[in-house]
Structure 1
Amino acid sequence: MKIKRHTRIFAGLLSLLLSLSLAACASNTETTNADSKFKYGRIDIPGKDGALCGAPIYIAYDKGFFAEEGFDVNLISADAETRKIGLNNGTIPIVNGDFQFFPSIEEGVNVKVVDGLHNGCIKFIVKKGSSIRTAADLKGKKIAVDEIGGTPHQVASVWVEKAGISAKPEDKEVEFLVFSDGNLEIEALKKGDVDVAALWDPLGSIYTTGDNAKDYEVLFDLSTDPTFAGKYCCFLYASDKVIRDNPEKVAALLYAYQKAQDWIAKNPKEAVDIISDKKYSAIEDKALAEELLKSYVYPSAEDRAANRQDVGKDVEYFATELYNIGYLKTDPAQFAKDAYYKVDLKLGK
């Protein structure tokens, strides 16, 4: 009886193990089949911050441009430090960002500028009828920013320095006050605690259009000011590790982004509809969002063919401006040479 009982137990265990093994094989087969749809497999791309200027990410994801180039993209939330760590170790292959990233490159973050993303997305606003009309009028004034060293702060510093005003705190020619939220900047401006609010879009545009136009007006627009107009303010940054280990992967990613940029340039209204309806970004005024997308001048295929903007020259230009105000220590030409990597797009075909 004991032998028969043990035999039955053994047979049951054998059957169970066989079932689990078959299930595992089936699961592995399903995973392999799923992965085989994408040449480069699953990757993480930061794309959940809701910024309108991140439109190419949303469109490349939604229109299937990432998938067409062989990527199963997972959009993630990631702060600046998470992005830097991911780029350093290659777990995040690519991010979009402005020239605020330049000091990080100088400090040793292993990342390269690989393409331009768009022009302008920052505005400085003042109270309606303010006596402040130019950068020269900012001497002795207070400017609200989101962080010291952040892009609005750097842009404002470059702007006033070009007007002959020192942006260095020790010179006390202009004062920067930090607020954790753009709406708090507006409140400070309203109360008279600051003279200027340096804001990311869409807030800068929201507070200077419609009913708000009676209270506030634009002093500076990054997309049209002569110091910055016609230049990429935001770039695509790729992991140096991924560039070295898998350059064709980076080339394929750029193809997906460039398809999205071209599509946005030619279909701004439809792009806003997708971004709004799919909740990629919180948009209340679609007409305003459409105008903003147009102002960012996402490069079309024709723009690229005509070489209307030069990524390497724009990197050197902003490196020079940041060098002049003390935010970079490296010679700008050398910095641009080291920081910009021209991807051979033929590798992605």
Structure 2
Amino acid sequence: MSAAMLTDRNHYWRWIWLAFLVNLALFPAEALHAQIQKIRISTSSRSNTTVAYYIAVSKGFFREKGFDVELIQTNPRLGAMALMNGDIAFTGSFVSTVRGILQGLPLKIVLVALPKGVYYLIVRPEIKDVQDLRGKKLGVSTLKGSDHLVAEEMLRAKGFNPALLQPIGLGDTSVRAQAIATGVVDVVALSPPHDLIAQQMGAKVLAGPPEVGMPASGMITSDRLLKENPQMVKRGLRALLKANRFIDENRQETTRVLLHWVKQTPEIAARSYDLELKTIRKDGQMTDAEIESFIERLGDKKRPLDEVRDFSLVRQALKELEANK
């Protein structure tokens, strides 16, 4: 081979190597996944409390971390089973899933988005006093779910024994709003925007919001995924943390995204943001004291906190986000 040919060949490979280095500089490591990973994330209802997931999907934060996310709505118990089986990667269903953890399911809370969900006790228009609810029907998402527990707490605060009610499992928040409006049930606990939607259909507010709300949204995953693929979990956490910050700093765009995902008026979406979403936890964590209080209120079997939550990865993700500012 001649010297000229060797020189040309060397130049060729230098250009290839230079192009490779330029690509590395232009694209962050997380964007260089050989293939976008398809994952499923479950939620128990389509409501404003799921806003962090809506933002992370709509603004491309999950895709930035190498995920093509499908949000699916399912019963929390089925979501927990799917989580353990590996059919979904994460769930945003919070209270019912935490109850499963306390009963021994191998799952962990890895992020908290809304530590205090806002609820209103909504009743039929013919209910004039809380004592009129004796023997009536309480519509709930699932038995002992967050809305059920908060409804009982608000009723006790007004001097009413919730054991005098008949709880009826109805599922999704929009279904419960429709049920109170049509008289299928007599009382429900609803979060924004559905409390206002129910009022527009003739129902009225009896109480709320509670002084101490239940955690309404977060991220829970399986012990197996935490052990086998912590980097995947951390990428999901970084996407949600980025969404939480976006929500805190962008009222107008957040309400626009809410209008895309949840049927409501712009005025109701804006009210929901001001009332509830401004409490979002940008660091994605609850203190041990807050979690202990939460578990106490659930009234279930206690487990050591290290078997309930693991915030080690979200702390790492926070540091990485700060470093990349």
Question: Scaled by the length of structure 2, what TM-score is found?
Answer: 0.73
The one-letter code sitting in structure 1 at the alignment partner of 2:241 is Q
The one-letter code sitting in structure 1 at the alignment partner of 2:296 is T
Question: Scaled by the length of structure 1, what TM-score is found?
Answer: 0.68
**Does residue 233 of structure 2 align to residue 250 of structure 1?**
yes
Which residue of 1 is the match for residue 97 of structure 2?
Answer: 101
1:1-349 to 2 correspondence within 5 Å?
A: 37-38=32-33, 41-46=36-41, 50-68=46-64, 70-80=65-75, 81-118=77-114, 119-127=116-124, 130-132=127-129, 141-161=136-156, 166-168=161-163, 173-179=164-170, 181-182=175-176, 183-188=178-183, 194-208=185-199, 212=201, 215-221=202-208, 224-228=209-213, 232-276=215-259, 279=260, 281-298=261-278, 304=283, 310-323=286-299, 328=300, 330-331=301-302, 334-345=303-314, 347-348=316-317, 349=320
Question: Residues 287 and 226 of structure 1: is their aligned pair in 2 closer, same or farther, counting only changes over 3 Å?
Answer: same
SS in 1 for 2:290: helix
Contact 2:110 2:314 in 1 (8 A): no
What stretches of structure 2 of length at least 5 have no aligned partner?
A: 1-29, 321-325
Contact 1:265 1:294 in 2 (8 A): no
Offset of residue 87 of structure 1: 1.6
The one-letter code sitting in structure 1 at the alignment partner of 2:204 is E
Summarize deviations over 1:26-46 as a string: whole Å, max 9, x none: xxxxxxxxx973378414133
The one-letter code sitting in structure 1 at the alignment partner of 2:212 is T
Instruction: Give the Cα–Cα distance (whole angstroms) in 2 for the partners of residues 258 and 84 of structure 1.
Output: 22
Offset of residue 164 of structure 1: 6.3
Summarize deviations over 1:197-220 as a string: whole Å, max 9, x none: 3334422121235xx5xx433223
Question: Residues 340 and 51 of structure 1: is their aligned pair in 2 closer, same or farther, counting only changes over 3 Å?
Answer: same
Contact 1:47 1:54 in 2 (8 A): no
Question: Residues 187 and 311 of structure 1: is their aligned pair in 2 closer, same or farther, counting only changes over 3 Å?
Answer: farther
RMSD (Å) for aligned C-alpha atoms: 3.3
Offset of residue 347 of structure 1: 4.4
SS in 2 for 1:77: strand
SS in 1 for 2:69: strand
Contact 2:42 2:93 in 1 (8 A): no
Higher Cα radius of gyration: 1
- Give the percent of matched residue pairs that are identical in Structure 1 and Structure 2: 20
Instruction: Give the Cα–Cα distance (whole angstroms) in 1 for the partners of residues 216 and 56 of structure 2.
Output: 20
